[in-house]
Amino acid sequence: MLEPPLTSAESALDRRAHGWLDRSRDSWLVEFVAFTAKQAWACVFGAAMLAVIFAARLWWPESAPLARNDALTLAAVVIQIVMVAARLETLRELRVVILFHVVGTGMELFKTAVGSWAYEEAGVLRLGHVPLFSGFMYAAVGSYLVRVYRLFDLRFVRYPRQWVTVGVAVAIYVNFFSHHYIADLRWVITAVVALVFGRCVMHFRIFRRRLRMPLLVGFGLVAVFIWLAENIATWSHAWSYPSQTAGWHLVSPSKLGSWFLLMIISVVMVAWVYPPRPPEVEARAEERDFATAGR
């Protein structure tokens, strides 16, 4: 199976980083710096989106002829074009980003219609009550995940079968809609997620060291950071929940559960582009077994 390659821009940065890090003798400091740099690089799409939303909250004039939501949509389009043109994102990965747009926008159209959250009504670049920049926020999650996969050379032990993960992801997505009309099954589905992914361990390379982590812990950590970003976005009035109409306050921690489940959908979609691979030692053992069986 082909390794997910670095883009040309990333390869140039990687060579420079190696030149500096190779001279350092403090191994743990090197690993920490490399980890932080890779995470920051993986977040570049989402960070740029969040920076634009934050800046628009502080400095966009109410009297401007262009509505703030439309400005955010145009800025998001520019960010996406720059990501591809500067080879920070591959065309292969763009497929996942577009899929996140479609899946996220579908959810947005329904959730705003039933009053789960709301956007400002100003602007023309919208579908119904949903400004088009909202799809880019889901795309930012997809961009982060595909970039993390490459930058950290993710490998998985005991990753569930694809048909099982797709079934779980579909159940999660359907429940986001159906719980408004029938029983909310999110806790049942969460228990199924724990059962399906509980044995899976993620291996990742930082710089010189390869570490491992239970995949469910990784899901939870990413969900926390998405929740933090959501608080910045709602403070910036990108959207608001019904409980925030009288004044902004922290988004309920219960949303962490929703973001955790969204991570399952996200990982299944990323697996469409980068099928989960076993660690190198395990992969070589599988190749030996296959060769022996073929004799």
CA-angle at 253, arms to 145 and 143, nearest 5°:
15
pLDDT in tens, 141-153: 988 998 898 889 8
Strand partners, 213: 202
What's the confidence (pLDDT) of residue 33?
81
Mean pLDDT of the chain: 86
Phi, psi of 86 (to 5 degrees): -85, 5
One-letter amino acid at 88 equals L
**Over the stretch 193-227, which tens digit does the pLDDT of each residue have?**
999 999 999 999 887 788 999 999 999 999 999 99
CA torsion sign, 75 to 236 to 126 to 265?
positive
Helix (H, G, I), strand (E, B) or coil at 204: strand
Three-state SS for 226? helix
Triad 275, 279, 284: Cα angle to 5°: 100
Q: How many angstroms separate the CA atoms of 148 and 215, rounded?
A: 14
Q: What are the residue ranges spanned by the domains of the chain?
A: 8-293
Q: What is the pLDDT of residues 51-72, one digit of tens each?
A: 999 999 999 988 889 999 999 9
The two tokens of residue 290 are 């296959």
DSSP-assigned states of every residue in 3-37: --PPPHHHHHHHHHHHHHHTT---HHHHHHHHHHH
Please give the residue that has the higher pLDDT: either 233 or 4. 233
Strands 155-157 and 130-131: unpaired
pTM: 0.84
16 pLDDT tier (thresholds 50, 70, 90): low
Choose among 191, 192, 190, 216: nearest CA to 202: 216
Note the pLDDT tens digit of each residue in 104-128.
999 999 999 999 999 988 889 999 8
Question: CA-CA distance, 110 to 177, in Å (whole number)?
Answer: 7
CB 28 within 8 A of CB 106: no
